[in-house]
Amino acid sequence: MELLKKAIIEKATVDNGVVKVGAFLNHEIDIALYREIGKEFALRFGQLNPTKILTVEASGIGLAVAAAMAMGDIPVVFAKKTKSKNLTGEKYSAKVRSFTKGIDYDVEVEKDRINSRDRIIIIDDFLAKGQAVSGLADIIDEAGATLLGVGIVIEKGWDDGGKLLRARGINLQSLVVIKSADDGKVVFE
Total residues interacting with ligand 5GP, rule: CB under 6 A: 18
Could you give the CA distance from residue 156 to residue 177 in angstroms, rounded to a whole number? Answer: 6
Q: Which residues contact 31 (CB under 8 A, 6 or more apart)?
A: none
Q: List binders of ligand 5GP among 2-31 (CB under 6 A).
A: 18-21, 26
Closest distance between ligand 5GP and the C-beta of residue 183, in Å? 16
How is the beta sheet containing 76-79 ordered, strand by strand? 76-79, 52-56, 119-127, 146-156, 172-180, 187-188
Q: Which residues contact 182 (CB under 8 A, 6 or more apart)?
A: none
Nearer to ligand 5GP, 68 or 123 (CB): 123
Beta bridge partners of 178: 156, 188
Decide: is 82 part of the binding site for ligand 5GP (CB under 6 A): no
Amino acid, res. 23: A
Q: How far is CA 170 from the centre of its chain?
A: 14
Amino acid, res. 111: K
Decide: is 87 part of the binding site for ligand 5GP (CB under 6 A): no
- Write the binding mask 50 to 69 for ligand 5GP: x where contact by CB under 6 A, - elsewhere: ---------x----------
Could you give the CA distance from residue 164 to residue 152 in angstroms, rounded to a whole number? Answer: 14
Closest distance between ligand 5GP and the C-beta of residue 26, in Å? 6
Decide: is 132 part of the binding site for ligand 5GP (CB under 6 A): yes
Interface stretch with ligand 5GP, choices 62-70, 129-137, 142-150, 168-176 (CB under 6 A): 129-137
Contact positions vs ligand 5GP (CB under 6 A): 18-21, 26, 59, 99-100, 124-132, 161
